[in-house]
């Protein structure tokens, strides 16, 4: 039987190589570049006929990545691939999950439709679910979600003495409480009021659990970083130690990584999006999920 082939889209080579090594399968190559007018050129350098393909493509900056990804999936099928599936460590377009104002596009559903029509299955890490209970509400292909909370708990237990776990808002409580339970530490949740896409206001209910403890802010995504930056400012204002800021996905728009560093925060992320703050390795969990799917492909 021909073994599966792991193929990275551009800038996903490190994750692809790690998954391929864990699974002891081959890694293929794809050439992709832009013509002067911005259109995409794409060519498989590996023979994909009859192969079970797994494309690796984390979807930060999704507008420049999704169209080449769809071209790759369609081309692979035309070239005779047995199946074509996707590992997207970070899955974009989960924000707009309903029509908040008349005339708005519900982009999460449209991207789910595009990807479901192109791939046989999807593996991702902690998608940013709000009003959806699961990916199956909008994705029609089989999906598997890898949860990074145990990895975060392990990092905190190994690297932080006497921590207190802090969630940025009430929506994070269930997740933050699970991390705190695993670590054996207390937790608290800040109260957040969102004033705009890049402006938030936070407040602390009580400081009684902070005495002598190292604060660890935990969130699933650092995007504009305003929540984390405001949390660092708020804790400093109340005389609390500068916290560690731990997130699954580090998007770091608006140079928020630099702003957090200037505030003195120690920032740690998982390797779902390549960045210098990557300290938490999700490779093994992703590879095991791929292995589960390959077992019945």
Q: Are 66 and 90 in contact (CB under 8 A)?
A: no
Does the pTM exceed 0.75?
yes
Percent of the chain predicted with pLDDT > 70 = 96
Exposure of 111 in the CB half-sphere (CA atoms within 13 A):
21
Q: What is the mean pLDDT of residues 88-98?
A: 95
pLDDT value of position 292: 94
pLDDT value of position 296: 47
Structure-token match 């990807």, residue found: 115
Picking from 80-89, 94-103, 203-212, which range would have the lowest pLDDT averaged per residue?
Answer: 203-212
Please provide residue 292's backbone torsions phi and psi, each rounded to the nearest 5 degrees: -60, -40
CA atoms of 243 and 246, how far apart (whole Å): 9
Q: What is the pLDDT of residues 144-203, one digit of tens each?
A: 999 999 999 999 999 999 999 998 887 788 789 999 999 999 998 888 777 666 677 788
Q: Left if phi > 0, otherwise alpha if psi is -120 to 50, otherwise beta: which for 162? A: left
pLDDT value of position 53: 98
- CA 250, 255, 259, 261 torsion-angle sign: positive
Q: What is the pLDDT of residues 116-130, one digit of tens each?
A: 999 999 999 999 888
């Amino acid at each position: 039987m021909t073994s599966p082939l792991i193929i990275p889209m551009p800038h996903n080579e490190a994750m692809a190589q790690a998954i391929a090594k864990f699974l002891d399968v081959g890694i293929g190559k794809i050439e992709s570049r832009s013509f002067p007018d911005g259109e995409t050129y794409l060519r498989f350098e590996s023979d994909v006929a009859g192969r079970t393909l797994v494309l690796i493509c984390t979807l930060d900056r999704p507008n420049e990545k999704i169209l080449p990804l769809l071209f790759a999936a369609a081309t692979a099928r035309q070239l005779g691939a047995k199946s074509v599936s996707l590992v997207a460590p970070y899955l974009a377009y989960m924000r707009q999950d309903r029509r908040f104002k008349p005339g708005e596009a519900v982009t999460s559903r449209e991207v789910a439709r595009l990807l479901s029509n192109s791939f046989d299955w999807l593996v991702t890490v902690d998608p940013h679910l709000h009003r959806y209970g699961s990916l199956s509400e909008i994705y029609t292909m089989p999906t598997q979600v890898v949860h990074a909370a145990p990895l975060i708990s392990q990092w905190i237990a190994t690297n932080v003495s006497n921590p207190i776990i802090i969630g940025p808002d009430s929506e994070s409580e269930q997740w933050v409480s699970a991390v705190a339970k695993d670590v054996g530490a207390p937790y608290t949740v800040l109260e957040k009021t969102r004033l705009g896409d890049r402006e938030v206001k936070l407040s602390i209910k009580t400081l009684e659990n902070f005495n002598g403890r190292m604060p660890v802010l935990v969130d699933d995504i650092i995007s504009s970083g305003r929540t984390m930056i405001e949390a660092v400012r708020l804790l400093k204002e109340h005389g609390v130690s500068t916290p560690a800021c731990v997130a699954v996905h580090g998007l770091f728009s608006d140079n928020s990584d630099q702003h957090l560093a200037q505030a003195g925060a120690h920032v740690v992320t998982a390797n779902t999006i390549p960045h210098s703050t990557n300290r938490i390795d999700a490779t093994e969990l992703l590879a095991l999920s791929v292995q589960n799917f390959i077992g019945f492909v």
